[in-house]
Amino acid sequence: MATELYDLTIPVLVRALHILSAILEKGAAHAEAQGIDPATLTQARLAADMAPLIKQVQFVSDTAKGAAIRIGGLDPVPMADTESSFPELQDRIARTIAFLESVPREKIDGHEDAEVILQTPGGALTFTGRSYALGFVLPNLFFHVTTAYALLRQAGVPLGKLDYLGPVTA
Instruction: Convert 81-145 into a string of H (helix), E (strand) and C (coil).
Output: CCCCCHHHHHHHHHHHHHHHHHCCHHHHCCCCCCEEEEEECCEEEEEEHHHHHHHHHHHHHHHHH
CB atoms within 10 A of CB 98: 10
CB of 39 to a second copy, least distance (A): 20
Residues that bind a second copy (CB under 8 A): 1-5, 7-8, 11-12, 15-16, 46-47, 50, 109, 112-113, 122, 125-128, 130-131, 134-136, 138-140, 142-143, 145-147, 149-150, 153-154, 161-162, 164-166, 168-170
CB of 22 to a second copy, least distance (A): 14
Residue closer to a second copy (CB basis): 15 or 88: 15
CB of 45 to a second copy, least distance (A): 10
Residue closer to a second copy (CB basis): 88 or 160: 160
* Cα distances (angstroms) measured from residue 102 to each of 50, 89, 91, 98, 160: 32, 20, 17, 6, 32
Residues 6+ apart with CB under 8 A from 154: 44, 46
CB of 14 to a second copy, least distance (A): 12
Residue closer to a second copy (CB basis): 44 or 103: 44
Residue closer to a second copy (CB basis): 21 or 140: 140
